[in-house]
Chain A
Amino acid sequence: MSLFGLFKPRAATAPVARERLQILLAHERVALGPDNLIAILRDEILATIAKHVEIAPEAVKVTMGQQGAVSTLEIDVDIPTEKITASLARQMPTKAVA
């Protein structure tokens, strides 16, 4: 490092800290907040699916991710194929028979 480098003002890092915090906390407040959006979504998605297909509670996975300033919601549902066929048979008996 040259001697001049010692006197050069260093770039302010506080604005970076501030921006990173704003993005991170916007995400965390939703994910961990008092109303816990993830748990609510999970419960409601599970209830909706369970009306039509027999499903185990742990088959629904809801996760929130983050890419830069964008939050993503990932919903992963495992339903065994035989359960789908069974419920289709119940709903549309004529077609299922045909």
Chain B
Amino acid sequence: MSKVVVVTSGKGGVGKTTSTAALGAALARSGNRVCVVDFDVGLRNLDLVMGAERRVVYDLINVANGDAKLAQALIRDKRVETLSLLAASQTRDKDALSEEGVARVVAELRGLFDYVLCDSPAGIERGALLAMRFADEAVVVTNPEVSSVRDSDRIIGLLDSKTLRAEQGHRIQKQLLLTRFDAGRASRGEMLGVADVLEILSIPLLGIIPESEEILRASNVGAPITINAATSQAGRSYEDAARRLMGETVPMLVPGEKKSLLNRILGRRAA
């Protein structure tokens, strides 16, 4: 059964594109057929993070408008066989994308892939709403910082009201991916902690990704961190998150801390 997952946040620059690439590659490396789709029309970046910027011929808009076949637009990853990319257009604007067109593309992708990851543009406007429209699940990417948490809260509300699943009266699964986390700063009370963000947003935790130079290095060379530095701390955190997305139970580690979060909570309770 195919799953369509939107990677969304409201706020820009929090790590949606980085996370789409990293989760997509990790899911594909464990044998799933995965397509990552860039919905950031006009500001496409997923192709760059995936290292496929020079291979884009046709994009999501071309396929949605019927100007190209899906097979012509899909870019197969050269490193991971089961991973594909559908790029966004750089020249058109987001009004060029119609809801019916997106519906057709997503339906066709469902027939070809186990996971379709939709990289949402920032904001709460048309582009972001189209990216989430046909999703079964959502990964809400949040930084431990006030404006990001506020925007995530807003996005959670939209996921519960504006997605097709929600309109049909179904629940849409939403999981929190806390990124750019700095355990040291959180423990010194300089940055919101994991428990703070979880309590405020009250959705389950998919993973905690540390602030890491490896991420920048990976994007410099155009490789998802889970391909470029899979054993780095950030790489492993994304691998774990991908396994949780597949439904596996993986102990939650706070990057930069030795004990698992569960132990910490239990430890604190016992004390």
**Are the C-beta atoms of A20 and B146 separated by less than 8 Å?**
yes
Alpha-carbon distance A38/B186, docked complex (angstroms): 37
**Are the C-beta atoms of A33 and B157 separated by less than 8 Å?**
yes
Whether A25 is near chain B, meaning CB under 8 Å from some CB there, is yes
Residues of B within 8 A of A13 (CB): 189-190
Alpha-carbon distance A22/B145, docked complex (angstroms): 13
How many chain A residues touch B (CB < 8 A): the figure is: 19
Q: A18-B196, A22-B200 are in contact. Are A28 and B154 (CB under 8 A)?
A: yes
Alpha-carbon distance A93/B190, docked complex (angstroms): 70
Main secondary structure of the interface of A (DSSP, over half): helix
Main secondary structure of the interface of B (DSSP, over half): helix
How many chain B residues touch A (CB < 8 A): the figure is: 19
Alpha-carbon distance A17/B199, docked complex (angstroms): 13
**Are the C-beta atoms of B157 and A14 separated by less than 8 Å?**
no
**Are the C-beta atoms of A25 and B200 separated by less than 8 Å?**
yes
**Are the C-beta atoms of B154 and A32 separated by less than 8 Å?**
yes
Q: A20-B146, A21-B146, A29-B153 are in contact. Are A14 and B193 (CB under 8 A)?
A: yes
**Are the C-beta atoms of A12 and B190 separated by less than 8 Å?**
yes
Q: A13-B189, A14-B186, A14-B191 are in contact. Are A34 and B150 (CB under 8 A)?
A: no
Out of B157, B190, B191, which one reaches A29, CB within 8 Å?
B157
- Given contact pairs A12-B188, A29-B157, A32-B157, a sample of 19 additional A-B residue pairs in the complex whose CB atoms are under 8 Å apart: A9-B188, A10-B190, A11-B189, A14-B189, A14-B191, A14-B192, A14-B196, A17-B145, A17-B146, A17-B196, A18-B196, A18-B200, A21-B149, A21-B200, A25-B200, A28-B150, A28-B153, A28-B154, A34-B166
Q: Give chain B's interface residues, CB within 8 Å of chain A.
A: 145-146, 149-150, 153-154, 157, 160-161, 166, 186, 188-193, 196, 200
